[in-house]
Amino acid sequence: MPNRHIKQILLPEIGAKRQRALAESHALVVGCGALGCVVADQLVRAGVGRLTLVDRDVVEATNLPRQILFDAEDAAQGVPKAVRAAQRLRFVDPSCRVEEHITHLVSSNAGELAEEADIIIDATDNLETRYLLGDLSVQTGLPWVYGGVVGTTGSVALFDGEDGPCLRCAFETPPAIGELPTCDVAGILGAAASVVGGLQAAAALRRLVGDRDHAGEMTTVDVWRPKLSRLRIAKNAHCPCCAKHSFDFLDRRATVTYTKMCGRGSVQITPAAAQQVDFDKLTKALPQGATPRFNGFTLSFELDGSELIVFGDGRVIVGGTTDPERARRVYARVFGA
């Protein structure tokens, strides 16, 4: 049988020895949305030997214009993205070891999820998790491929861990809510996600085969009026993260968090510590008329005009609102305050 990666081995940038290094490498992909689907697919096809996927959400019809690992049947069933993505990728290359985690990466589980990884891929849709991954990268010394996309534009950067520069060298604090455009307001073009995810995959492969000269470089692209620019992020000698090793996002004390979910018109409620939900017990405890549906992974039901999805780790997505206070009230009716 011919080597499936022969055309990649022909590349002077890769070659046989570096191809073997890819087979030995392990990528942690955080988020299986528009970017995560593209990056994970490309890494598996390129011959990365092991992949860990982390995603908290289920497939919805509005994901399908961008999220290339899912189809209409997945959306109809509301399958967790991490489960379906892992399944598809095992079909692509059965020799790749793919693990999935249906969870939200937070400070309490980040270290464990990254434990055996060689690189962290940021395919998230919220700033909180991005800054947390930035802390994790510097604390663990793991390279981190940043990626973000909104509208027809996006940006990608490789940050090389401990020594910096890091994201906080350039953007010390995350912008306030409402300061940056989000997919909810500005929309997103699938082709932009494919290009940005492709750039992330290339940056990751380059680092995994040993190149580091692109560390600290940020590439910005607009796919509608094609234009690509690059800038170098300088190390800030006073950076709280890579200079002073103050991991403000990773060390944040665990509390219940309310996250507005990009593109869903919903709020996610994450308990302070992961739980093990007993779905049978919960089903029996629901208010009358809630008509729960269980798909093997999540329990969905309607309450006060909101659709709730409960995950095994205790997270709840409250649909039909982006108001955290309203979501909190609906949540409290079922789970207590």
Looking at beta carbons only, is 80 or 216 nearer to Zn ion?
A: 216
The verdict on 239 binding Zn ion (CB under 5 A) reads yes
Residue 170: CB minimum distance to Zn ion, A: 8
Other beta carbons within 10 Å of 179: 8
β-partners of residue 159 are 144
Question: Count of residues binding Zn ion (CB under 5 A)?
Answer: 7
Tokens matching residue 216: 């600290």
**Of the residues 30, 32, 241, 250, which one makes contact with Zn ion according to CB under 5 A:** 241
**Of the residues 33, 143, 164, 320, which one makes contact with Zn ion according to CB under 5 A:** 164
Q: Determine the 3-state secondary structure of 73 from DSSP.
A: helix
Residue 246: CB minimum distance to Zn ion, A: 10
Part in contact with Zn ion (CB under 5 A); list of ranges 7-15, 32-40, 157-165, 307-315: 157-165
Give the whole-angstrom CA distance, residue 309 versus residue 303: 11
β-partners of residue 97 are 50
Looking at beta carbons only, is 196 or 241 nearer to Zn ion?
A: 241
Residue 168: CB minimum distance to Zn ion, A: 5
Range 98-137, binding Zn ion (CB under 5 A)? none
The verdict on 242 binding Zn ion (CB under 5 A) reads yes
Tokens matching residue 152: 């027809």
Buried b or exposed e, range 14-51, using 16+ CB within 10 angstroms: beeebbebbeebbbbbbbbbbbbbbbbbbbbbbbbbbb
CA dihedral 160, 165, 171, 174 (to 10 degrees): 40
The verdict on 156 binding Zn ion (CB under 5 A) reads no
Residue 169: CB minimum distance to Zn ion, A: 3
Part in contact with Zn ion (CB under 5 A); list of ranges 12-20, 100-108, 118-126, 235-243: 235-243
- According to DSSP, residue 260 is labeled E
The verdict on 233 binding Zn ion (CB under 5 A) reads no
Q: Which residues bind Zn ion (CB under 5 A)?
A: 164, 166, 168-169, 239, 241-242
